[in-house]
A and B are shown apart, each in its own frame.
Chain A
């Protein structure tokens, strides 16, 4: 099944996107491969947070510099992505430490019941690693859109100062923002529908404190926050770099 779907995806990408479609397909499978490498690394006992950060850096570098090229806008995007990643790390670190949302909820009990829980490995780290890898896709996408658009603005109006450039970056970002939030909402909404069908009839107070609900809503809100914060940071760094380059 996966082979059939991959072939269809490949054909469509190449038909519509030509060489860029080809590259996209390559990057997509490289990223999938990197997620699997991550799973392998943590399963042999390596640190889940540290390796999630390393994987995120590799993913950003290959997507930015591979799909596009090494230039001022991709370099600025890369810096901005790292800053947002650090912020999300701090946020998820505290969330993981205090909210007790690691591991599994009662819904998964049937699936995990047959296995040993004595992993000798803190599941909180796996959770933080998952959050970090989850947000990287959307921040790369938003960041590159903002920095390339900003670059276009600068080429067309080379006399703009940094403040104006930053402002137009924010304006571009505003347009991207609503569609990005929509995309993320629908990407995760099926899980919510399943959750609410499972817990149909439970009280509001029960649900908002329930482990798997907090995990799902954190996924959603963390990706929202990351994709919003990347906009001003990319605009600032790119506008500064463009002016400095003059």
Chain B
């Protein structure tokens, strides 16, 4: 019964939140136009069969000193929508207004409400499925997000003087320590998993770094998304490699250290040799499950760009070479680090948990 009330409260809060975001126009300085009516003029491009649409949008300003004004704005769009937006009847647009009844132009679409809906679904499902543990997960996620932001701020403040790669090597160690301690509490098991994770990412990153440095041909890492934001292309590429596999490495480390801990607790007299032997069996079970997660999560981001290239008459092989090669390198290096994390975690966890056990025996 009590649980039911909790869910009810969660759902009410969620609905109120969505309602608020749908009506948050007053928070914005930019003028927001609510669409009332759209008049479309369609033009066929004979050679490409693409339809080019000129939308004349009539709407009402929802905020600021112009609130309530009726405004007209022109929008050029197409059926493909590669680099343009097709405005719908319930769209809300950011517009630049001057005097008169025509806006200078559309500067953006109001999309915050869609993020709000997704966030609400995420929060509700995590609380419904995981309860209190869900809060811990959310907390560790939040801390990771805050650290990520702080790192970005620090880096931008010291732009040009700080080495991005060194900064993120340090930040990664911080990520690992804090999130593992939040989700698993303070114990020798956590200590073992933290040390295994750090050792794993240092070893595997060192390996990747070495291979790439030794490789003679240049890697087109400038095709990574957003890389132009950073002056140091090469180091941004290394940071991407470093971070992508980090979560999966932590997953491996915690799985191995908890199962070894279980083995020791079930049988306190177990020898180091037998512990490693049983550990190897566990390793066989967890190998490779995460590789596909990395592949699908990271590699799918190349789909729109590769599609555009292929539609422009470039064959698949060339499109991949031009654009997707770097993403694939990132995926492969993360997979290598995940696999390497298995033996590293096994030996470090065995060493730490077993020596702790001895100390316990002496008392």
Contact = CB atoms under 8 A, between A and B. Distances in A.
Interface of A: 1-2, 4-6, 8-9, 12-13, 16-18, 20-21, 23-25, 27-28, 31-32, 35-36, 38-40, 42-43, 63, 67, 91, 95, 97-104, 107-112, 115-124, 126-127, 129-130, 133-138, 140-141, 144-145, 170, 173-175, 177-200, 205-206, 208-211, 214, 217-219, 221-225, 228-229, 231-232
B184 to A, nearest CB: 9
Dominant SS among interface residues on chain B: helix
29 contacts: A1-B215, A1-B219, A2-B329, A13-B339, A17-B339, A35-B296, A39-B303, A100-B85, A100-B91, A103-B81, A117-B80, A119-B308, A122-B80, A127-B304, A134-B301, A141-B289, A177-B129, A182-B250, A183-B248, A185-B247, A186-B243, A186-B244, A190-B239, A192-B148, A193-B148, A206-B108, A208-B112, A209-B112, A221-B122
Contacts of A194: 224-227, 229-230, 236
A8 B300 CA distance: 23
B158 interface: no
Contacts of B88: 97-98
Contacts of A35: 295-296, 299-300, 303
A182 B247 contact: yes
Given A116-B48, A118-B78, A198-B226, A12 B156 contact: no
Interface string B211-255: 110010101000111111110000010011001111110110011
Interface of B: 27-30, 45, 48-50, 78-88, 90-91, 94, 108-112, 114-115, 118-119, 121-122, 125-126, 128-131, 133-134, 136-137, 140-141, 144, 148-149, 151-152, 155-156, 175, 179, 183, 211-212, 215, 217, 219, 223-230, 236, 239-240, 243-248, 250-251, 254-255, 283-284, 287-301, 303-312, 316, 319-320, 323, 325, 328-329, 332-336, 339-340, 342-343
A31 B64 CA distance: 51
B152 A183 contact: no
B304 A103 contact: yes
A228 B52 CA distance: 41
Contact of B223 (A2, A111, A129, A193): A111
Contact of B297 (A2, A137, A208, A217): A137
Given A43-B310, A110-B228, A119 B50 contact: yes
Contacts of B226: 107, 191, 194-195, 197-198
Contacts of A112: 82-83, 305, 308
Nearest to B184: A178
A21 B336 contact: no
A13 B288 contact: yes
A144 B96 CA distance: 52
Contacts of B244: 186-187, 190
Dominant SS among interface residues on chain A: helix
A193 B45 CA distance: 40
Nearest to B144: A185
B297 A187 contact: yes
Nearest to B329: A1
B114 A214 contact: yes
Given A39-B316, A103-B84, A137-B293, A221 B215 contact: no
B347 to A, nearest CB: 12
Nearest to A110: B228
A126 B229 contact: no
Given A118-B45, A138-B296, A198-B229, A179 B115 contact: no
A5 B211 contact: yes
B247 A200 contact: no
Contacts of B212: 1
Given A8-B336, A115-B308, A205-B28, A190 B82 contact: no
B50 A120 contact: yes
Nearest to A170: B129
A192 B230 CA distance: 13
A58 to B, nearest CB: 13
A118 B255 CA distance: 50
Contacts of B149: 196
A178 B228 contact: no
Instruction: Rank and list the top 3 A-B pairs by shortest CB-CB distance, nearest first.
Output: A194-B226, A24-B288, A137-B296
A225 B117 CA distance: 12
Contacts of B30: 205
Nearest to A12: B339
B111 A5 contact: no
